[in-house]
């Protein structure tokens, strides 16, 4: 069969593919009803298109025809198998709705992680107001001296260790420190959840001891003014990392009718998504902690007020974002 005859025979099929490749309403308007490529026909018709390309090359038809068919085959393959440009909106959709919806679906492990973090923290804070020496059950004297220097009313830079020289250095320091804590809580889930429970409890008691000691010695304005702004992001990120770890632990402790390996693979998909959201909150916490929290000269009521607003916004985001809108 000559090239012109072959083109005339197959031209309508190739044009149908061209119209199928045009996205949106233009394709629907230009596509005849009898010429539409149905989803059920895609495999067969795509194989035919690939066969056309192979036949054109085998018969040594013109290079222009071969290149045109090759371009069409690649475009159809990308459209079918998703090999086109990455969908940049996927991350935004996950953060805008998918992540908070996931947190609500996994409310059991999220609630457990929050309780493991907040209850011991508040209990230790309260205990030190009654028994001040309780702080030394967890904090070495050198550590106590260091945190007193960091949050002293006479400190030149609140919350900054001696080794850090700028806000950008502190940002990197806080990111590294918070990521370490979050990763420990997450990775501890592989030890049947016991590692996650340990790290949540330990960090809760440590934070509670620091907060309780500084409150007991009267550094209330400097300490609480410093931590108020980033506490919502930091503690929520830590709790969600712990929830991800507990999700792994549950797969190993109670896999149900699945094998432990199958349960771990299934639960890890959810755990990793929780960790993605926790990482974003940790990043935000480090930014606030480095650039807003150390600011001096601001009223304590303003800093605490900002902290309360951020707690409310974080709670509203996790509780309400991503819910389907109700029709009027």
pLDDT score of 31: 47
pLDDT score of 328: 40
From residue 324, how far is each of 3, 92, 120, 301, 317 by CA, in Å?
55, 16, 36, 37, 14
3-state secondary structure string across the chain = CCHHHHHHHHHHHHHHHHHHHCCCHHHHHHCCHHHCCCHHHHHHHHHHHHHHHHHHHHCCCCHHHHHHHHHHHHHHHHHHHCCCCCCCHHHHHHHHHHHHHHHHHCHHHHHHHHHHHHHHHHHHHHHHHHCHHHHHHCCCHHHHHHHHHHCCCCCCCCCCCCCCCCHHHHHHHHHHHHHHHHHHHHHHHHCCCHHHHHHHHHHHHHHHHHHHHHHHCCCHHHHHHHHCCCHHHHHHHHHHHHHHHHHHHHHHHCCCCCCHHHHHHHHHHHHHHHHHHHHHHHHHHHHHHHHCCCCCCCCHHHHHHHHHHHHHHHHHHHHHCCCCCCCC
Q: What burial letters (b/e) apply to 85-94, b meaning 16+ CB within 10 Å?
A: eeeeeeeeeb
Residue with more model confidence, 61 or 226: 226
Is 295 a residue whose pLDDT tops 50?
yes
Residue with more model confidence, 49 or 118: 118
- The predicted model gives 277-300 an average pLDDT of 92
Proportion of the chain above pLDDT 70, given as a percent = 90
- The predicted model gives 269-273 an average pLDDT of 94
From residue 106, how far is each of 78, 112, 136, 246 by CA, in Å?
35, 10, 37, 11
pLDDT digits (tens, 9 = 90+) for 20-51: 888 654 444 444 544 567 777 788 888 888 88
Tell me the domain boundaries of the chain.
3-81, 89-320
Residue with more model confidence, 239 or 54: 239
Cα distance between residue 31 and residue 223, in whole Å: 67
pLDDT score of 317: 96
List the single range of 67-71, 100-104, 307-311 with lowest mean pLDDT: 67-71
Reported confidence tier of residue 76, pLDDT bands at 50, 70, 90: confident
Is 6 a residue whose pLDDT tops 60?
yes
Is 262 a residue whose pLDDT tops 80?
yes
């Amino acid at each position: 069969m000559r090239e012109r005859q072959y083109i005339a025979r197959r031209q309508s099929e190739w044009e149908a593919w061209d119209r199928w490749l045009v996205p949106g309403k233009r394709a629907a308007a230009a596509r005849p009803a009898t010429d539409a490529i149905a989803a059920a026909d895609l495999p067969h018709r795509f194989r035919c298109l690939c066969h056309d390309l192979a036949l054109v090359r085998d018969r040594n038809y013109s290079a222009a025809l071969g290149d045109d068919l090759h371009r069409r085959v690649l475009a159809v393959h990308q459209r079918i198998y998703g090999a086109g440009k990455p969908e940049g909106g996927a991350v935004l959709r996950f953060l805008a709705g998918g992540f908070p919806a996931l947190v609500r679906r996994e409310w059991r492990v999220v609630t457990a992680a929050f309780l493991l973090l907040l209850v011991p923290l508040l209990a230790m804070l309260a205990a030190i107001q009654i028994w001040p020496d309780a702080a030394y059950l967890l904090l070495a004297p050198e550590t106590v001296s260091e945190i007193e220097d960091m949050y002293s009313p006479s400190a030149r830079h609140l919350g900054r260790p001696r080794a850090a020289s700028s806000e950008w250095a502190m940002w990197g320091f806080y990111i590294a420190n918070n990521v370490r804590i979050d990763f420990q809580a997450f990775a501890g889930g592989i030890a049947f959840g016991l590692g996650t429970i340990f790290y949540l409890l330990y960090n809760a008691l440590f934070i509670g001891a620091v907060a309780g000691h500084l409150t007991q010695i009267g550094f209330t304005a400097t300490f609480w003014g410093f931590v108020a702004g980033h506490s919502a992001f930091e503690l929520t990120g830590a709790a969600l990392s712990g929830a991800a770890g507990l999700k792994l632990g549950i797969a190993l402790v109670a896999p149900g009718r699945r094998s432990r390996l199958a349960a771990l693979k299934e639960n890890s998909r959810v755990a990793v998504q929780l960790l993605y959201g926790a990482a974003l909150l940790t990043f935000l916490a480090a930014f606030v902690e480095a650039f807003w929290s150390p600011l001096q000269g601001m009223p304590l009521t303003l800093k605490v007020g900002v902290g309360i607003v951020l707690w409310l916004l974080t709670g509203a985001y996790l509780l309400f974002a991503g819910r389907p809108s109700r029709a009027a």
